[in-house]
Amino acid sequence: MTEVTLHEPLDMHLHLRDGEMLRTVAPLSARYFSGALIMPNLVPPVTDAEGLRAYRRRILEAIGEERFEPYMTLFFKEEYDLDFLKPFASEITAVKLYPAGITTNSEGGVSGFEIERLRPALEAMSELGIPLCIHGETGGFVLDREREFVPIYEELAVAFPDLKIVMEHITDAESVAALDRHPNLYATITLHHLLITLDEVAGGMLQPHLFCKPIAKRPEDREALLKVALEAHPKVMFGSDSAPHPRHAKEAPGCAAGVFTAPIALPALAELFARHGKLENLQHFVSTNARRIYEIEPPAKKVRLVDRPMKVPEKYGEVVPMMAGEQIGWSVAEIIQE
Ligand code: DOR
Ligand code: ZN
């Protein structure tokens, strides 16, 4: 039997939602991860200290006794400045920027990337040491959106050299290439974008549970993502972008974007890394890199995974996970918190 023990696994891009959905999904992440970067795209989004603190409290309530740190984010607004951010900077792990209307609950996002418009907010974040996470897609043709956004990432990286910029859930070989051109560019990569291409989403019968933004791309893009994930490139981190929607919102005309992977992520990653003979790099991909990049000290938790198969449940509450009903070759054997 092969096994791996992960220390303080982290999910650096997670949607926990609110209310009933929060109570369903938060315990599933809190069980297997030491912490996660919590996305702010609620309705309305998290845009101030009061909203951020209240949401953090609701998350802690939902996870009960589990030892898990919700690393909180604020939804980017051009109006942010030093006076606004400074009083609660220590509670903000990152600010998340969405282009307006690009994905679920992003209507209040940014509608132009002129540097001067963004300068007050981004200079304040640089000064306070708050990283900027970006959903990098233009309004162009769906398969080109991320590629078209790369020059914007680069322009921002050059204009704000002291700002850490995280290219969220990258899906395109061009984004991977940009990583090494700027010292302050980083990236998260999801599980699903390491496993699927557009073929799995729409090549046969349409698979709504694999539909997400950014859409999965070409085989050569997936290869580029796999290469940097498997080698645990020091500037990439695991971020599941696990984005639960109730089944009726997915299996519908006007299918909501989002793949729910939180409860299967670690076994599926272990299987993937083992298949490629790279298990020794998984610790860096799911924890060490993120700790260094975000300068965080997550609560102690060890997760031992073994190559014993598990069957993925058909549903968690109202949410259908990726690989529902299928088998994963690895499973969690033990969780050690001391
Ligand atoms: O597929 C997605 N779902 N992509 C996003 O960027 C947002 C997310 C969500 O919140 O459902
Ligand atoms: Zn997301």
Q: Is the CB of 258 under 6 A from ligand 1?
A: yes
pLDDT at 338: 75
What is the distance between the alpha carbons of residues 289 and 283, in angstroms, rounded to a whole number?
9
Rounded to the nearest angstrom, the distance between the alpha carbon of 179 and the centre of ligand 2 is: 19
Rounded to the nearest angstrom, the distance between the alpha carbon of 29 and the centre of ligand 2 is: 15
pLDDT at 7: 98
φ, ψ at 328 (rounded to 5°) = -110, 140
What is the distance between the alpha carbons of residues 172 and 159, in angstroms, rounded to a whole number?
23
Q: Does 307 qualify as catalytic in the annotation?
A: no
Domain ranges of the chain: 3-337
Q: Is the CB of 15 under 6 A from ligand 1?
A: yes
- Using 70 as the pLDDT threshold, list the residues of the chain that sit under it: none
Q: Is the CB of 212 under 6 A from ligand 1?
A: yes
Q: Measured from the CA of 41, which atom of ligand 1 is nearest?
A: 10
Give the right CATH number for 3-337 from 3.40.1210.10, 3.40.50.150, 2.60.120.380, 3.20.20.140: 3.20.20.140
pLDDT tens-digit map of 196-250: 999 999 999 999 999 999 999 999 999 999 999 999 999 999 999 999 999 999 9
Cα–Cα–Cα angle for 126, 72, 106, rounded to 5 degrees:
85
Beta carbons of 300 and 338 less than 8 angstroms apart:
yes
Q: Is the CB of 189 under 6 A from ligand 1?
A: no
The preferred substitution site among 11, 14, 15 for testing ligand 1, maximizing ligand atoms within 8 Å of CB, is: 15
